[in-house]
Structure formats: C-alpha cells, structure tokens
Amino acid sequence: MGRAFLLQFMACALACAAFASDQVPSPRNRDVAEARNKAIAGRVFEEIFNQGKFQVADEIYAKEFVNHGLHRSFDLQADQAAVHEEKRAFPDLKMTVDQMVAEGDLVTVIWTFRGTNSAAGYGLPATGVKVELRGITVWRIVDGKIREEWSAFDQMQAASQFAAQLKWQLAGLAFAAVVLLLATVWAAGRIRKGLARAC
C-alpha cells in the first residue's frame, strides 16, 4: 500500500510540474518573447516612421488593435491615418528610441520626435518649423502582434516651438489684421459722412 501511494504521489507531482511549466514561462522563454516584442516595437519607429514603409503595419499590428487616447480610442485605420499625416507634414521625420523596456507582453518606449514641417499635412500648412519633442508609448504585444497602445507627449511643447519659430510671421499677420481693421473702420466712417452730406 505504501509503495502504491508513493507511486501515485510521484505521478501526481510530475503531472502538476508539467502543468505548471506550461502555465509559467521559463526565464529563458520569457527573455526570448520580450526580445521579440522589443524588436517589433523597434520596427514601428525605424520602418514605419523613419522609412515610411507603411505596409509594415499590416505585419505587426493586430486587426483588433486599439490606441487608447486620453478622451477616446482609435482603431488601426485611424491610428495609421494619423501616422501618414505626420509623415506627410514632416517628410524628414526621425523617431529616435531613447529607452525601451519589455516586461511580459508590455513594451515601453521613451522616444524623441524630430522633423521639419516642410509640407502641408496633419492639419498644418507648410511652415518650415523644426519640431523636437519627447514622448512615451506603451504597447501590449501578444503573439507577435501589437494589440493595444497608450501614448503621451507634451502637445504644448510642440505648440510653443511653432509659436517661437513663427513669431515674426504671426506678428506680421496680427499687424496686417489691425491695419485692415482700421482701414475698414476709416472707410466705413467716410461712407457714413458722405451719405450724411447727401441727405
């Protein structure tokens, strides 16, 4: 009886160990998966943003991808349309990976955006403004596909760079608007005086 119990106990222990090893990845497997996820994240910056190889998105994004924005979420089509607009507005766009960390199915990237707004796009006319800003993106990557994204960057920093580089143009526009307003007021006054004399 003791021997049968010992054999049953060992069989159960082996089955439990086999089940547990299926559920918890070994450190080596986890390292390999995290390295693969980092490589996928790196492709977004190097191939899609820097080289403009937009078709790469079909290879590395899941069809059910969701970009979780601050106020609303975006599907893959809307997300990639924004990428196309950024690349159109900033043809020399370079995205640099400053730091990248992977843990489990999450990859976090601190990046720097550098580019010149030398063409119309992204809701902007061509201004010639050089922009440099830093941001952070967290992706959830499962089975080799990016499924979710959370990104943040300082939009006010970008706006202040536009304002600083366009200050003379903006001042010129403001001056022209004031002159036009004064000329309109003066002309309206002259017309009123002429009408008053005619009556």
Q: What local confidence, expressed as pLDDT, does residue 69 receive?
A: 92
**% of the chain with per-residue pLDDT over 70:** 69
Torsion over CA: 8, 11, 17, 22 (sign): negative
Given a cut of 90, whether residue 145 has pLDDT beyond it is yes
Contact 129, 117 (CB under 8 A): yes
Tell me how far apart the alpha carbons of residues 156 and 78 are, in angstroms, rounded to a whole number.
23
Please name the helix (run of DSSP H) or strand (run of DSSP E) that holds residue 135, with its range, or none: strand 130-142
Q: What local confidence, expressed as pLDDT, does residue 171 receive?
A: 46
Q: What local confidence, expressed as pLDDT, does residue 30 receive?
A: 84
- Closest alpha carbon to 54 in 97, 99, 86: 86
Distances (CA, A) of 158 to 58, 127, 149, 182: 29, 13, 21, 33
7-21, 66-80, 99-113, 139-153: least confident range:
7-21
Tell me how far apart the alpha carbons of residues 195 and 66 are, in angstroms, rounded to a whole number.
65
76-80, 116-120, 190-194: least confident range:
190-194
The mean per-residue pLDDT over the stretch 76-85 comes to 95
Mean pLDDT of the chain, nearest integer: 82
Torsion over CA: 108, 65, 122, 41 (sign): positive
109: region left, alpha or beta (phi > 0 left; psi from -120 to 50 alpha): beta
Which option is the CATH number for 27-153: 3.30.300.30, 3.40.50.300, 3.10.450.50, 3.40.980.10? 3.10.450.50
Model pLDDT for residues 30-54, shown as the tens digit of each residue: 889 999 999 999 999 999 999 999 9
Count of CA atoms in the C-beta half-sphere (13 A) of 15: 6
